[in-house]
Amino acid sequence: MGVFSKLFRKQAEDENSVPKNGVEDFVSLIRVYYQAVMAVNLGITNLNILADMALFKRMLKIPTQNNKLGVAEKSKVKKILISQYGLNESFFKEIDSSIKKNCKNQNDIKSYFFLFQGFCNDLFSLMGNLMQWKFRFSMLMKKMLHSMTVKTIHEILTKSEWKDINVQKAAWNIRKYSHTLGYSEQWIVDFVYNVVLLAREDSKRQAKENKKD
């Protein structure tokens, strides 16, 4: 229940004011969007099988629109992600297409998230290895961080040979995931950049808290 606690701390004061927080909140909001799309596409009526969306719906007190679960939730979370994280329409269209392609019925939901999790694990592990974020978080400016993200992802998706065989295998796996999921290079850049940028902010906040202690 703590995932959205900070995200919605100002909700009582201003219904449309949603402060930007860390990686955990961003990823949770992305999952809410995924689940809302699934609810709409598959006609899901049992809110309990969509845990992230259920929490989001209850905390923002979002009424079900036209007796169809997911419609209002999809619209609300999309507005938040666009306004707070700068994502654009094409980002959401690719998610919609990916879910339509891979989720034909409710039994596909778990396998889809399992696939997406595998994609994220391999992608961020390899990105961290290639960019060495742990050592350069505090030194990178936003523009530099974005350009490095763009360059690294392009190499992962296009470079034919790597000196390290493990890196090459990981890159191939990511390409397979992206092809199956149907995500473009630009989509991956937008997703990864937001996660990395927020991780940097998380790191800074944690460092400040440690100094206070």
- Choosing from 24, 54, 87, the residue where a domain stops is 87
- Choosing from 24, 55, 87, the residue where a domain stops is 87
What residues make up the domain containing 144? 107-213
Same domain, 115 and 213: yes
CA angle in degrees (0–180, nearest 5) for 26-90-179: 85
Same domain, 139 and 175: yes
Same domain, 138 and 166: yes
Q: What's at 126, amino acid-wise? A: L
Tokens standing for 128?
């961290």
131-151 per-position pLDDT tens digit: 875 445 555 678 888 888 999
Same domain, 58 and 153: no
Q: What's at 112, amino acid-wise? A: Y
Separate counts of helices (H) and strands (E) for the chain: 9, 0
Same domain, 135 and 79: no
Is pLDDT at 168 greater than 60 in this prediction? yes
Same domain, 116 and 206: yes
Lowest mean pLDDT across 37-51, 75-89, 135-149, 199-213: 199-213
**Three-state DSSP class for 190?**
helix
> What per-residue confidence (pLDDT) applies to 136?
56
Same domain, 39 and 120: no
- Percent of the chain exceeding pLDDT 90 equals 64
Tokens standing for 196?
């990395």
86-99 per-position pLDDT tens digit: 999 999 999 999 99
Q: Is 75 a domain residue? A: yes
Q: Is 140 a domain residue? A: yes
| Cα dihedral value 123, 129, 131, 135, nearest 10 | 130
Identify whether the C-beta of residue 134 lies closer than 8 Å to the C-beta of residue 199: no
